Amino acid sequence: MSAREKGGPVRTVTHYVNGQTSTGSGGRRQPVFNPATGERIAEVVLGTAADVDHAVESAARGAERWGEVSLGRRQGILFRFRELMDVRREDLAKAVTREHGKVLDDARGEVARGLEVLEFACGIPHLLKGDFSENVSTGVDAHSIRQPLGVVAGITPFNFPVMVPMWMLPVALACGNAFVLKPSEKDPTPSLMLAEMATEAGIPDGVLNVVQGDAEVVDALLVHEGIAAISFVGSTPVARHVYRTATDCGKRVQALGGAKNHLVVMPDADPDLAADALVSSAYGSAGERCMAISVGVLVGSIGDEVRKRVQERASRLTVTDGSEDGADMGPLINRAHLERVAGLVAEGEAEGAELVLDGRGLQVRGREGGFFLGPCLFDHVTPEMEIYRQEVFGPVLSLVRVDTSGDALGLVNRNHYGNGLSVFTDSGAAARYFTSKCTVGMIGINVPIPVPMAYYSFGGWNDSLFGANHIHGPDGVAFYTKGKAVTVRWPQKSAGLDMGFTSHD
């Protein structure tokens, strides 16, 4: 057993406020694990309301100056941030794999998706262009502008420690706001790396701050008078709490919650394509993606063909340390989550679903302390079962059999989540039917994980998102700015009193 496993000294993951690292005011700390080994590799400081005050004060000073910085200069700094992140993408990806456990190649993909949002934000001079109407009344012109909100905060989940903060902060900063980030306490290091890069790129001190912590910090952010808006991504119960508390305090809120994404396989689909898609999207990142497919809806006669192919492919996956060559799937985030997911598998079995593949009890040689669960596959799952009802967030795929496309759509739309839906079919009419009628925010036709590009916006419906705005893309710009309509007249001489309501001639 190493000194670190015995509880010896490890690296401390700090806050980042006003351009400097700090251990803050509180005494509480929490271990950070490498999920592939179970080893304690760092300790993260857990902030307090006093740390939030300190960060918001620093951000308020930052926002005052930053909001006045010209668009061209802001853009130049964002370009430099983009260059630094690009050069260091491998360091970021390795940090993600070390603390989250996902396969290195997947971590590289997450960094790439984060970079894409930064690239979108580099276009801010174009994105903030307002409208102009000449002569709305005689000699009167009208135009619109969008202005920053001031200090905004982001609260992020463990499953994308680079990408989800990058969904928020580049757009918020580009719009002229200062940002306070509260990353997940389970994998906090990549956020610090991003903040340090931003400073190096020229983002002024105080404009991007990171407060580490848990619910105590979140709750302090939600009610803080100095914060104008909250972006949240995480599970539905916490998203609901964040939305209610922060809107009650008069803040603008976008709170993205959990998911239960379905992939519908129509009878005319290619069963090999559909099986490839089901396996990659259900077991990629060990199912810890908000866009993971956790339910395969097999319509009619194709059911047995698809099941056979999914079983073959899933049983061949290599589950090991995500930093190892050839790994298809890494561990789950921690032991508590592993036990929760294994418990749901047991419940599914007890409720009568057919357990086709059982990944429980998997031991990875040389990584005996890791939080591993192999691929689990259920068939003949019904909507009443817990394994269907709950967001499992692990490598568990449930197959549900239905007779018609109408049954498939009904199943999807009765689910209280509404994040993503995928439909595999060769029929344009079927694709159009699902696209038009489904009550989810993001749909893929023959695309298993339909994550929108950075220049579109990302967000679900129903219990997958609370608030009006989706995240990043055009909705992100709208969320992080306030609109102002300006009406202008430059009179040459007095026209006398006009006591009436404006007439437009």
- Report, in Å, the least distance between residue 13 CB and ligand NAD: 14
CA 209, 214, 215, 216 torsion: positive or negative? negative
Q: Which stretch binds ligand NAD (CB under 6 A): 24-32, 96-104, 254-262, 478-486?
A: 254-262
- Report, in Å, the least distance between residue 420 CB and ligand NAD: 9
The Cα–Cα gap between 203 and 197 comes to 9
Among 218, 253, 357, 449, binds ligand NAD (CB under 6 A): 218
CB 235 within 8 A of CB 257: yes
CB 449 within 8 A of CB 458: no
As beta bridge partners, residue 438 has none
User: Which of residues 148 and 234 has its CB atom nearest to ligand NAD in the complex?
Assistant: 234
The Cα–Cα gap between 77 and 299 comes to 51
Which of 20, 373, 44, 53 is CA-nearest to residue 223? 53
Using CB atoms within 10 Å of the CB of residue 256, give its burial: 0 to 12 exposed, 13 to 18 middle, 19+ buried. Answer: buried
Site for ligand NAD in 350-389 (CB under 6 A): none
Residue 182 makes contact with ligand NAD by CB under 6 A: yes
Site for ligand NAD in 314-333 (CB under 6 A): none
Site for ligand NAD in 119-138 (CB under 6 A): none
User: Which of residues 201 and 451 has its CB atom nearest to ligand NAD in the complex?
Assistant: 451
As beta bridge partners, residue 262 has 295, 421
User: Which of residues 77 and 259 has its CB atom nearest to ligand NAD in the complex?
Assistant: 259
Q: Residue 241: enclosing H or E segment and its boundaries?
A: helix 236-248
> In angstroms, how far is CA 425 from the centroid of its own chain?
28
Which of 243, 278, 293 is CA-nearest to residue 393? 293
- Give the active site residue among 122, 175, 249, 290: 290
Q: How many Cβ atoms are within 10 Å of 401's Cβ, its own excluded? A: 17
Residue 158 makes contact with ligand NAD by CB under 6 A: yes
User: Which of residues 252 and 289 has its CB atom nearest to ligand NAD in the complex?
Assistant: 289
The Cα–Cα gap between 42 and 264 comes to 42
CB 233 within 8 A of CB 219: no
- Report, in Å, the least distance between residue 148 CB and ligand NAD: 24
Q: Which residue is nearest to ligand NAD (CB)?
A: 234
Helices (H), 284-354: 303-315, 335-350
CB 310 within 8 A of CB 275: yes
- The CA-CA-CA angle for residues 185, 186, 187, to 5°, reads 95
Residue 185 makes contact with ligand NAD by CB under 6 A: yes
Among 37, 464, 469, 481, binds ligand NAD (CB under 6 A): 464
Binding mask 53-92 for ligand NAD (x = CB under 6 A): ----------------------------------------
Residue 233 makes contact with ligand NAD by CB under 6 A: yes
Residue 234 makes contact with ligand NAD by CB under 6 A: yes
CB 233 within 8 A of CB 155: yes
Among 151, 180, 208, 259, binds ligand NAD (CB under 6 A): 259
384 CB contacts (<8 Å, ≥6 apart)? 351
290 in active site: yes
Among 290, 298, 327, 409, binds ligand NAD (CB under 6 A): 290
Site for ligand NAD in 389-408 (CB under 6 A): 391, 393
Size of the site for ligand NAD (CB under 6 A): 29
Among 161, 460, 473, 476, binds ligand NAD (CB under 6 A): 460
Residue 238 makes contact with ligand NAD by CB under 6 A: yes
Give the residue numbers annotated as catalytic, written as ranges: 290
Q: Footprint of ligand NAD on this chain (CB under 6 A)?
A: 155-160, 164, 182, 184-185, 214-215, 218-219, 233-235, 238, 241, 256-259, 290, 391, 393, 419, 460, 464
